[in-house]
Structure 1
Amino acid sequence: MQKQLISAVALAASLLASFAVQAADTAELKVKGVIRPASCAPSFTGGGVVDYGVIPASTLKAGQFTTLPTKDVTMNITCDATTKVAFKAVDNRQSSVISGLMQYPEENFGLGAVGGKNTGGYSIRMTQPTGDGANLTLLATNNNGQSWGSAAGVTKIHMFSFGNNASTPGAYKQLSAKISLTAYINKPEELDLTREIPLDGSATIEVVYL
């Protein structure tokens, strides 16, 4: 009986040693990497700042929204290879949007708030789009690119692209367009004019690869 026990222990030890040798005989080779589309970077002339300077409170008229002069900047999208892209505009001051300030709420970007009072808003028009030196059409879609149509105003509910016709986005390496921004100030009685009120609009342009 003792011999059988010793033999069983020896067999178990032998099996464990065999498994250990087998485990040591394997090694895993992993292959990693990422296939990524060409990189495209949006930018604006003037560092992306539209500055209205000092606006005297005395120029605001009671009971009325005040329209400020339209200012222009240029938006560029530069890719490291010919690429088909679109973009979205995200309002970083959405909580400060004033209802009724504009005819189309989706074009109304907020200008921030001071003391719990919303300062105003602004709209964005985009014209003169070009791609690799050729004149293009600004396109918009509200169904994630299933169909496209021509556009001018930039909204928060559409995705935009560029093409040489009114229905099909094209692929380009260098895109450019003029942005005309018009700001509106809230009615003076809706503002705390005992303090300085900065215009604090902020929107993010998000590039989408098609």
Structure 2
Amino acid sequence: MKKTAIVIALLSSVAASGVANAANSQATMKLEGSIIPATCNIKVNGSTSSTLSLGKITAAQLEQNGGTTLLPNKNVSLNITCPSPTFVGFQVMDLGEKAGQVELSGVKDTGLFSLGTTKSGAIVGGYFIDFESGKIDAKKVTNFISSASLDGKWSKFTGKLDAMKKSIYSWSTESAMSYPSIGFSHEVGLTIHPYINPLSASDAADKIELSGEATYDLVYL
């Protein structure tokens, strides 16, 4: 009897609904959702925030007669790990003081990052970054490539990384291929080339803090 009562109640409900909405001859159902790329992690020297020490530089170590002082290079490891094979790249943005206005030997370049300013407001120095090596899932990278947008047009890249987030950088393990390679683990070796600009006598007499900051932004391709 219990089973019969349940069936009757259900039929009664449907019938009542049909009467109440007799004016509706059509109902609409929509399906919505999204497919998102695998979430990857990007780290510099094994962390989401890494500080490189340039040490303490005395005035006696600076180049004399208006020369640029080249500081020891620094090596950085950029790692991108993904839960499934993914095409990835990155962009770089200089966050230092007077970013985009940095000079080397009197010449401005979009590939120069800021190391801060003196008390007088002069840019104390800068640095530039280039690729050293790379691996995708332990396979050696043979080509570093760049693109001005995500339009699929890539070209072989050599030189300094752009400091104003205008280029996307990626890499390939195929020597004859100028398109990104897919993988779980992407490891890129970068070399940082810091330098100090010629300083005025008044600036050189003060303690100057070298302070540079840049972000590496992960890009899904």
TM-score higher than 0.5: yes
Farther-moved stretch of structure 1 (128-137 vs 181-190): 181-190
Q: What secondary structure does 2:60 align onto?
A: helix
Superposed, 1:126-205 pairs within 5 Å as: 126-136=131-141, 137-152=143-158, 153-156=160-163, 157-165=166-174, 166-189=177-200, 192-205=203-216
Q: What secondary structure does 2:87 align onto?
A: strand
TM-superposed deviation, 1:30: 9.1
Q: Retained in 1: the 8 A contact 2:98–2:114?
A: yes
Q: Retained in 1: the 8 A contact 2:112–2:128?
A: yes
TM-superposed deviation, 1:195: 2.8
TM-superposed deviation, 1:139: 1.1
TM-superposed deviation, 1:162: 1.4
TM-superposed deviation, 1:104: 7.1
Q: Which has the higher strand share?
A: 1
Aligned to 1:35: 35
TM-superposed deviation, 1:174: 0.5
Q: CA 1:57–1:198 in structure 2 vs 1: closer, same or farther (change >3 Å)?
A: same
CA distance in 2: counterparts of 1:79 and 1:159, whole angstroms: 18
When normalised by structure 1's length, the TM-score is 0.77
When normalised by structure 2's length, the TM-score is 0.73
Q: Retained in 1: the 8 A contact 2:75–2:192?
A: yes
Q: Retained in 1: the 8 A contact 2:92–2:162?
A: yes
CA distance in 2: counterparts of 1:93 and 1:209, whole angstroms: 26
Farther-moved stretch of structure 1 (138-147 vs 197-206): 138-147
* Structure 2 unaligned blocks of 5 or more: 1-19, 22-28
Q: Output the aligned Cα RMSD.
A: 2.8
Amino acid at match of 2:130: R
CA distance in 2: counterparts of 1:101 and 1:33, whole angstroms: 54
Farther-moved stretch of structure 1 (99-108 vs 171-180): 99-108
Amino acid at match of 2:154: W
Larger radius of gyration: 1
TM-superposed deviation, 1:103: 6.2
Identity of aligned residues (%): 27
Q: CA 1:138–1:62 in structure 2 vs 1: closer, same or farther (change >3 Å)?
A: same
Aligned to 2:103: 99
Q: CA 1:45–1:187 in structure 2 vs 1: closer, same or farther (change >3 Å)?
A: same
* Structure 1 unaligned blocks of 5 or more: 1-20, 23-28
Q: Retained in 2: the 8 A contact 1:101–1:108?
A: no
Q: Please, which of 62, 65, 68 is the counterpart of residue 65 of structure 1?
A: 68
Q: Retained in 1: the 8 A contact 2:115–2:125?
A: yes
Aligned to 2:79: 76
Q: Retained in 2: the 8 A contact 1:108–1:123?
A: yes
TM-superposed deviation, 1:180: 0.8
Q: Which has the higher helix share?
A: 1
TM-superposed deviation, 1:208: 1.0
CA distance in 1: counterparts of 2:65 and 2:95, whole angstroms: 28
Count, aligned residues: 187
Q: What secondary structure does 1:87 align onto?
A: strand
Q: CA 1:79–1:73 in structure 2 vs 1: closer, same or farther (change >3 Å)?
A: same
